[in-house]
């Protein structure tokens, strides 16, 4: 029994040694984990391009501007406003001749935000001329923002009846009353033109009655266009008659509007006293301004 026990023990020892000497089983290398690239972040929203011009506002200090030196509405105050998130780069105020949007009478401009209030004395900073009585002047206000966008608004400066003092007498000069072609009255005019004429005459009648102690000499004027001496002589005769007819027409209307006829007299001046010359500085016919010569003036004399 002892012998068998030793044989079995020896066999087990041999098996153990053989097992320990055997090569270890191979171990699989760990597989690398795949690299996952995160998606790119969504693009930030792009700001819309600025295509909107400044928000503008403008207001006049009086309904009727009267720069005639009497201390009442002698200066026009124009309140300006311009707002834009991008900022204001430049601004411009333009005032045009009556019945025109391209014949410039006054201009003021600057960079940055415009002044809160712009003052105007009624004179052109181009020619030095004073505004015409009872006329409407188109006013344009524009501004440009720093992105280059432009906004423009328009309004109308209404001129009152101007009474200009000349020594001991007063002069009311009104070129905005429209007469018919080669007519001493309103023949052939559109109804709205006649209506505007009567509106102006009513304002003139009110002014004349305000100066009730003055006599009123009504002068008619024409625009001379003749160039040769012979033409000028012929034109002088016809213009004298035409201007007298226009003055008499004004007298009749003023009487109808409540001005005493005994205060009124009519005279024709023809084309002897023009406001603007026949030609401009370049020698071209000054047609854009000829209307100022076709006028009626009222002289208030003590």
Quick count: other Cβ atoms within 10 Å of Cβ 224?
A: 18
Quick check: 111 pLDDT over 90? Answer: yes
Question: Token digits for 95?
Answer: 């005032």
- Please tell me the predicted confidence (pLDDT) of residue 3: 59
DSSP code at position 277: -
Check: CB of residue 96 under 8 Å from CB of residue 141: no
- Please tell me the predicted confidence (pLDDT) of residue 302: 80
Q: How confident is the model at residue 164 (pLDDT cuts 50, 70, 90)?
A: confident
Quick check: 93 pLDDT over 90? Answer: yes
- Please tell me the predicted confidence (pLDDT) of residue 183: 82
Q: What is the CATH number of the domain that holds 136?
A: 2.60.40.2550
Percent above pLDDT 70 for the chain: 85
Q: Flag the least confident range among 19-28, 45-54, 188-197.
A: 19-28
| CA distance readout (Å), 219 to 5, 34, 161, 258 | 162, 105, 16, 19
In a domain, 27, yes or no: no
* Residue where a domain stops, chosen among 109, 135, 159: 159
- Please tell me the predicted confidence (pLDDT) of residue 169: 80
Top-confidence range, 68-82, 165-179, 251-265: 251-265
* Residue where a domain stops, chosen among 104, 134, 159: 159
d(CA 107, CA 120): 10
- What are the pLDDT digits (tens) for 99-108? 787 889 999 9
- Please tell me the predicted confidence (pLDDT) of residue 274: 83
- b (16+ CB within 10 A) / e for 99-138: eeeeebbbebeeeebbeeebebebeeeeeebbbbbbbebb
Check: CB of residue 293 under 8 Å from CB of residue 274: yes
In a domain, 285, yes or no: yes
Percent above pLDDT 90 for the chain: 44
What is the separation of C-alpha 94 from the centre of its chain, rounded to a whole number of angstroms?
6
Whether the model pTM is above 0.75: no
Q: Which domain holds residue 223?
A: 164-301
In a domain, 39, yes or no: no
Question: Token digits for 161?
Answer: 């009846």
d(CA 45, CA 128): 55
> In the predicted model, what is the mean pLDDT of residues 43-53?
77
- What are the pLDDT digits (tens) for 153-163? 999 999 988 88
- Please tell me the predicted confidence (pLDDT) of residue 124: 95
Quick check: 116 pLDDT over 90? Answer: yes
- Residue 56 pairs in a beta bridge with 82
Quick check: 5 pLDDT over 70? Answer: no
Phi, psi angles (nearest 5°) of residue 149:
-85, 140
Strand locations in 212-263 (E) = 215-221
Q: What is the CATH number of the domain that holds 198?
A: 3.30.1330.60
d(CA 255, CA 216): 12
Residues 141 and 189 in one domain: no
- What are the pLDDT digits (tens) for 240-284? 898 999 999 999 999 999 999 999 999 998 888 887 777 776 778
As for how many domains the chain has, the answer is 2
Quick check: 198 pLDDT over 70? Answer: yes
| CA distance readout (Å), 114 to 56, 89, 117, 144 | 11, 10, 8, 11
Quick check: 216 pLDDT over 90? Answer: yes
* Residue where a domain stops, chosen among 113, 137, 159: 159
Check: CB of residue 200 under 8 Å from CB of residue 177: yes
When computed from its CA atoms, the radius of gyration of the chain, rounded to whole angstroms, is 46
Residues 120 and 184 in one domain: no
- Please tell me the predicted confidence (pLDDT) of residue 87: 94
Residues 194 and 146 in one domain: no
- Please tell me the predicted confidence (pLDDT) of residue 23: 54
Residues 187 and 285 in one domain: yes
């Amino acid at each position: 029994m002892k012998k068998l026990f030793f044989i079995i023990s020896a066999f087990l020892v041999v098996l153990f040694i053989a097992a320990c000497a055997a090569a270890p089983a191979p171990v699989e290398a760990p597989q690398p984990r795949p690299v996952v690239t995160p998606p790119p972040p969504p693009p930030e929203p792009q700001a819309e391009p600025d295509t909107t011009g400044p928000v503008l506002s403008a207001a006049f200090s009086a309904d009727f501007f009267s720069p005639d030196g009497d201390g009442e509405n002698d200066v026009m105050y124009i309140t300006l406003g311009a707002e834009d998130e991008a900022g204001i780069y430049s601004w411009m105020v333009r005032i045009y001749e009556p019945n025109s949007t391209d014949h410039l009478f006054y201009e003021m401009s600057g960079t940055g935000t415009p002044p809160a209030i712009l003052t105007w004395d009624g004179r052109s900073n181009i020619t030095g001329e004073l505004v015409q009585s009872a006329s409407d002047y188109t006013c344009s206000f524009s501004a440009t923002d720093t992105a280059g966008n432009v906004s423009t608004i328009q309004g109308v400066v209404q001129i009152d009846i101007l009474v200009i003092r000349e020594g001991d007498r007063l002069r009311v000069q009104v070129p905005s009353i429209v007469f018919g072609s080669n007519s001493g009255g309103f023949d052939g005019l559109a109804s709205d033109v006649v209506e505007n004429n009567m509106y102006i005459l009513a304002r003139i009648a009110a002014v004349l009655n305000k100066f009730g102690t003055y006599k009123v000499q009504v002068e008619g004027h024409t625009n001379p266009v003749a160039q040769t001496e012979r033409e000028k002589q012929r034109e002088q005769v016809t213009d004298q008659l035409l201007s007298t007819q226009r003055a008499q027409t004004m007298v009749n209307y003023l009487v109808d509007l409540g001005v005493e006829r005994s205060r009124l007299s009519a005279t024709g001046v023809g084309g002897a006293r023009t406001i603007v010359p026949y030609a401009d500085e370049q020698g071209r016919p000054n047609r854009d301004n000829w209307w100022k010569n076709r006028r009626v003036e009222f002289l208030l004399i003590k």
